[in-house]
Each structure stands twice: as C-alpha cells, then as structure tokens.
Amino acid sequence: MTKRALITGITGQDGSYLAEFLLDQGYEIFGMVRRSSTVTFERIAHLQDRISTVFADLLDQASLIELLREYRPDEVYNLAAQSFVPTSFSQPVLTGEVTGLGVTRLLDAVRLVDPTIRIYQASSSEMFGKVVEVPQTERTPFYPRSPYGVAKLYGHWITINYRESYNLHATSGILFNHESPRRGLEFVTRKISHGVARIKLGRDSELRLGNLEAQRDWGFAGDYVKAMWLMLQQDQPDDYVVATGETHSVREFCEIAFDHVGLDWERHVVVDDKFFRPAEVDLLIGDPTHAKQALGWTAETSFDELVRMMVDADLDLLQGRLSGLS
C-alpha cells in the first residue's frame, strides 16, 4: 500500500528536501500551502508533477480538519512556521499564533479526524536559548531567548501533552540549525554564501552582519529530513535531538566561505548593530547520541562541505547556471 504524507511548510527549505526524500521512498505527497497573491513554489517547482498541493493555513482550524478528512494521510510532518528569529521580535503575536498555537490546531485536527495518523513536530534548538548545559540533549532544560523560541517550546510541550493525553503517535524532533543552497536569504549562512558570491562576481564590495561570535551546530538540511522520517517509522513516539555534535562561529563560516573563492573576509565583512538581537543565543551544540542509537541516524555532510556547497551554488545561481535547487 502506498503511504500518504501531508507536509505543512512544503514551500520552505525543509519541505522541499523532505518531499524529495519521501517521493524516493514511494510516498504519495500532499503539500499544504497557504493562499498568497503570488506563487511561492520556487523550491518545489521541480516536483510539481509528482506532488499535490493542497490549500490550508495553520491559522485556520477548520481548514486543517477538512484537509485531513479529504486526504487521509498516514503521516503528517508539521514544518510550517514563522521561522525567522528577528521577525519574531517584531511580530511576536503572529509568531505565537503560527509557530505555537498552530501546532495545537494541527494536533487537535489529527485527534478529531483520525488519531492513528502519525505526526512529526518541527521543534528547534532555539528552545535551549541561554543554554544551561553543554552539549544539549533531550533532557537539557529549556531557556528560550526569543518569541520564536518561546512559541516553539509551546509547540514542543503541546506535542508531548497530546501524546500523553490522547495516545497520539506525536513526535518532536529538536533539530539544530540546518542549512542548504535553498535556505532563505535572510538567515546568516545563506546571507554569507550569497554575499560572498556577489562580492566575488564584482556586484558588491561589503557584507554587513551582526554578531560574529555566535556559535551554532550547523548541518545540511538534506541529511536532516531523513531523521524526521525515521522518527515516524518507530513503534513508539519520542523526542530526538538531531545535530552534528560540532559548533562553529559565524566568523568561522565567513572565513571558510570567503577563503573558498580566494578572498579575505576581513576586507569585506562590516559589523552592523542593526543585525544584533534584543536577546541572543550565544552557543548551541547538540548531542545526537539518542538519534544515533535509536534511529541509526548521523549527519553525513561536514561543516566545510556545507559552506563550500552553499557558496558554489550561489555562484552558479548568480551566473544563471542553475535555479538554486542543487
């Protein structure tokens, strides 16, 4: 029997990689998209004839219930969110509605329509915030530092609550930062890789960034979507940290990215106060032991490979050699 998966947030970075991965596993894919005056299908354009796009919104409970009733998925991957941390400071209520309460709307829709549907919640290392333990595991206490982190923490706990209250197969994947050539241009890694490519091609001379000392556990998004799928194949739902187990600073990302094209980062990077946050997450590093032992998952792409892949893809993109979907 062909399995059916519903992916919310299919137009985002992770949604596009997950759709590719599940298609390879033989799934029938329903990608939930929200109504927009312009089409935002750039990341899934190459999959259009292999997936069905279906309309609903995490802000609208009835639309979610109708969606589940009509398409009857076996598995739901909730990747939709307002996911950009600075926007969560400027739009905290919207972020709470989508990234926090949206999870409850979807869980409740599953409970009402068919509680045997398995559901994955995209939780985040941002929940660890001002970390109280290094490295962070599934048992590390949380200390979010942004409205986004607070909203994700609500989503995490409501997932556990629905698992325990209604016996749902509801799993929370606590994923550390994962990047790719499909990353939004506002996130620091893509901002750097795109900026480096523009400078290399003579279209810019400087790159303005915020806190260069922030450290993140950065992996490749294409590796991480496999962990999401593995979680829903387990007999019992659980929580999993998904990470590389290494941390690097924004400064190191710059060094490698500029060096890859023969440039000195210090001649081009300008620190601009505008990109600092009201409260910062200084250091994230995950311990993926549980994911390794229970799922057999490990990150396959190294930090250096990731940085170089992103810079090469942006050089290609800017020179018209590909669509940004490598």
Euclidean distance between CA atoms 182 and 157, whole angstroms: 29
Q: Would you state the structure tokens that stand for residue 326, as one six-digit string?
A: 């490598």
Nearest to 5 by CA among 181, 229, 176, 164: 229
Tell me, yes or no, if 126 is annotated catalytic. yes
Nearest distance from residue 193's CB to ligand G4F, in Å? 12
Distance of CA 148 to the CA centre of its chain: 13
Residues 212-231 that bind ligand G4F (CB under 6 A): 214, 216
Q: Is 126 in the site for ligand G4F (CB under 6 A)?
A: yes
Q: Kind and range of the H or E element at 52?
A: strand 52-55
Strand-pair partners of 54: 32
Binding-site partner at residue 98 among ligand G4F, ligand NAP, none, CB < 5 to 8 Å by type: ligand NAP
Look-up of token digits 């499909």: 182
Residue 281 DSSP symbol: -
Question: Using the rule CB under 6 A, which residue among 67, 122, 231, 310 binds ligand NAP?
Answer: 122
3-state class (DSSP) for residue 233: coil
Q: Is 48 in the site for ligand NAP (CB under 6 A)?
A: no
Binding-site partner at residue 186 among ligand NAP, ligand G4F, none, CB < 5 to 8 Å by type: ligand G4F
The pattern of x and - marking residues 247 through 286 that bind ligand G4F according to CB under 6 A reads ---x------------------------x-x--xx--x--
Nearer to ligand NAP, 94 or 318 (CB): 94
Look-up of token digits 């759709």: 19
Dihedral in degrees, nearest 10, Cα atoms 176, 196, 16, 113: 50
Tell me, yes or no, if 16 is annotated catalytic. no
Nearest distance from residue 96's CB to ligand NAP, in Å? 12
Q: Is 82 in the site for ligand NAP (CB under 6 A)?
A: yes
Tell me, yes or no, if 70 is annotated catalytic. no
- What residues are labeled active site? 124, 126, 148
